[in-house]
Amino acid sequence: MAMEIIPTGAVLGAEIRGVDLASPMDDTTFAAIDDAYNQHGVIFFRDQQITPPQQVAFTRRFGEIEYNIFSERWSVTGSPEIVVVSNITENGAPIGIKRAGENWHSDMCYTARPPRGTMLYALEVPDLSGLSLGDTEFASAAAAWDALPESLRSHIENRTAVFDFKGRKRAFPPKQSEIDRNPPVRHPIVRTHPHTGRKCLYVMRDDCTSIEGLEPAEADILIAALSDHIVKPAFIYRHQWRVGDVLMWDNCMVQHRAIQDYDMPLRRLMHRTTMGGSVPI
């Protein structure tokens, strides 16, 4: 079956059909997928059945595997590259990170070299009598930049913000050693996408703690206004998961959040991999 790329109809996101991620993939097919990923910011493949090594190998084609603080706590046995994201508890212990990513964010923006992107493979999706719960929302920070008035663009274009690991409330309190390993970093608040050259807003509440050259009160207003602007309904694609989905998002062009509208006994289980990126410019 020939590969097809079907845009979601929102300003970002596309489904890719005609690809079996459990089979070997030639370089031409991979290049077309890589291009779709860069153009659409979110791509997904339905009805996949992949093993942990296959997920790791596919992720590696986009960039070296990145490890984060969740990997140390909840990885798949035999595949330390895969983080388990889940609300399931077995024998009194959580099998994965629960309530990950409830607030809008871009993964690991608090690092000097944030990841290129993140992949989730859906193994269990909460289902309420046929209604799928636990969606993930994605917002295009590129479309949000395009929609800004010129006067605001020129006010913010060459500015830098401080991104602080301690800023965001997490699903669990980080250890002091993790805080020490992640000192505050500086990134441009308008990034240039490394593959497409598109400008993308790179501002999030809580993670961005100040903007260089601005008084704290002015910076706070700007951080709040830009963070809200990025997640306006016009810039959003909401993914309703099905078991077997493999979905990946681009951490420069896209912010995301997980919708926490379910709990046990409704189970959600995802395998997550993260691919290395470049220093934001």
- Residue among 10, 76, 84, 85 that touches ligand SIN (CB under 6 A): 85
Using alpha carbons, list the distances in angstroms from residue 214 to 12, 112, 207: 32, 22, 17
116 close to 200: Cβ distance less than 8 angstroms: no
Contacts of 144 (CB under 8 A, 6+ apart): 201, 226, 229, 230, 232, 235
Q: How far is the CB of 274 from ligand SIN (least distance, A)?
A: 9
The strands making up 136-140's β-sheet, listed across from edge to edge, are 236-239, 136-140, 254-258
Q: Is residue 107 annotated as a catalytic residue, yes or no?
A: yes
- Residue among 13, 41, 52, 101 that touches ligand SIN (CB under 6 A): 101
- Residue among 84, 258, 269, 275 that touches ligand SIN (CB under 6 A): 258
CA distance 46 to 128: 20
Task: Map residue 118 onto helix, strand or coil.
Answer: strand
Cα 153 vs. chain centroid, distance in angstroms?
Answer: 24
Helix (H) or strand (E) holding 96: none
Question: How many amino acids of this chain bind ligand SIN (CB under 6 A)?
Answer: 9
Does 84 interact with ligand SIN (rule: CB under 6 A)? no
For residue 165, the one-letter residue type is F
Does 251 interact with ligand SIN (rule: CB under 6 A)? no
Q: How far is the CB of 102 from ligand SIN (least distance, A)?
A: 8
> What count of residues does the chain have?
281
CA distance 119 to 59: 7
Q: How far is the CB of 99 from ligand SIN (least distance, A)?
A: 9
Tell which positions 172-211 bind ligand SIN, by CB under 6 A: none
- Residue among 14, 100, 211, 253 that touches ligand SIN (CB under 6 A): 100
- Residue among 161, 190, 270, 275 that touches ligand SIN (CB under 6 A): 270
Q: Which residues are near ligand SIN by CB under 6 A? A: 85, 100-101, 118, 136, 256, 258, 270, 272
Catalytic residues: 105, 107, 256, 272
